[in-house]
Amino acid sequence: MSKSPEEGPEPWGLTTLKNTFNYVKDSAPVKIVTGSAVGRTIGVVTVLASATVAAVPATIVGLGAVAVGAAMDTSDTRTLRLLKKENSLLTKNRNAQDRQDELLKNEPSLSRILQDKLYVPSRSNQASLTERYIETTPNSPVSISSYGKALLKNSVDVVKNVSSAVLAPSLIGAAKVGKAAFGLYGESKKQATKEEIGLQFKQNIDKERNKPDTPGYNDLIELAQATREQRIQTLAIQKMVNEGSFRGAKAEEVIAAFEVAKQEVLKTEKVIQDTRGVVGTVKSYSKDFVKAHDPFSKYNNLDQLKTFVPEASTKSGNDKISKPVKAQAQEGTVDKAKEIGKKLVQAKTKPQGKRKHRRPPKSKKRHR
């Protein structure tokens, strides 16, 4: 029988080397120096410094390549940010709806009185009712396109370093080529991670859009407004259930109390600003441009990018609407722990009599 080999611990030197490399790689100076902002700034300066009358076409091409890379980074960051925001809004809306259904199921009298007063999301002629991000699952791996995008984004740096190494071969030139290759690999890996996360967001959003009680919307502002309305209603119902003043009251009094509760909750919910104009769009793209070139942005760090991956269920449990449920569960656990602790204390304090020591039975000898 062959035993499966067990992997032993890594050598101390290798572990130390890995930790040192990760520490240096994640340090602030390295992030700044290897960031796209510094790289593109150096690229622009290099192109302008070598600009002459005869080299005007090359200068235009070089500056155009830098602009293309910056535009691609901004577009990727914006796409991922908007997908993350849409998924977050749908998650908050689903949590609020589930909590409302649970509250009204436990309070049938309140459900009966408020059935004609509850907010019902609109579902007519909105784009989200018919449009889906993914019609068919792509068969090609994401990493194939990531290398092409990474090459386009870093084309100036790659061409500059490779051409200088070819024209004047040296150790410095070889080091520059290695730096360009390493940067290209890192950029392609980051690009592949972004596309994989974006794909998971799209699948999650499409799944939520397919549900019959999800609000219809044409843009994220409409979705944010519908989510806000649903949260206000659910929190108002939660407030009434916690107070319990509706029990035994007349229907008119319950409805009036419901409106008052909604007005109180309304003060705590953030107002949705309409940024669909030209000024709002320019501000939005400017923020995405800054995030795309910020070396400390979560959109430029693989470890932080992986935390964006949505869970299989949209019910995250991090919403303040679901906190009362968690609190009740924790209180029940604490009560059980106290009860068990009391029993243990009582068992220790009980007077115990003298223990009788029994001799072990003698072993019988066998006679042949």
pLDDT digits 0-9 by tens, 101-155: 999 999 999 999 999 999 999 898 899 999 999 875 455 444 446 656 666 666 5
Give the residue, 42 or 167, on which the prediction is more confident.
Answer: 42
Residue 226 and residue 93: Cα distance in Å, rounded? 8
| Rounded Cα gap, residues 47 and 75, in angstroms | 24
- Percent of the chain having pLDDT more than 90? 33
In this prediction, residue 349 carries a pLDDT of 46
Q: Quick check: 291 and 297 in contact, CB under 8 A?
A: yes
In a domain, 342, yes or no: no
Mean pLDDT along residues 240-259: 91
pLDDT (mean) for 169-198: 72
Q: How confident is the model at residue 308 (pLDDT cuts 50, 70, 90)?
A: confident
Q: Is residue 352 part of a domain?
A: no
Domain total of the chain = 1
- pLDDT, averaged across the chain: 74
pLDDT digits (tens, 9 = 90+) for 12-36: 666 776 666 565 555 566 566 556 6
Mean pLDDT check: name the lowest of 74-83, 136-145, 275-284, 319-328.
319-328
For the chain, how are helix, strand and coil distributed in percent, rounded to 5? 70, 0, 30
pLDDT of 331 > 50? The answer is no
Q: Which amino acid is at 129?
A: L
> 276-302 pLDDT, tens per residue?
888 888 999 999 999 988 888 888 887
Residue 46 domain-assigned (yes or no)? yes
**CA distance from start to end of the chain:** 44
User: Has residue 9 been placed in a domain?
Assistant: no
B/e letters for 9-36, b = 16+ CB within 10 Å, e = fewer, are eeeeeeeeeeeeeeeeeeeeeebeeebb
212 against 339, higher pLDDT: 212
DSSP letter, residue 273:
P
Inside any domain, residue 135 = no
* Least confident stretch, 29-33, 120-124, 161-165, 194-198: 161-165
Parent domain of 145 = 20-130+141-336
Please tell me which residue, 48 or 356, carries the higher pLDDT value: 48
Q: Between residues 181 and 197, which one has the greater pLDDT?
A: 197
Query: Does residue 358 lie in a domain region?
Result: no
Q: Is residue 299 part of a domain?
A: yes
Q: What is the pLDDT of residue 338?
A: 47
CA 231 to chain centre: 21
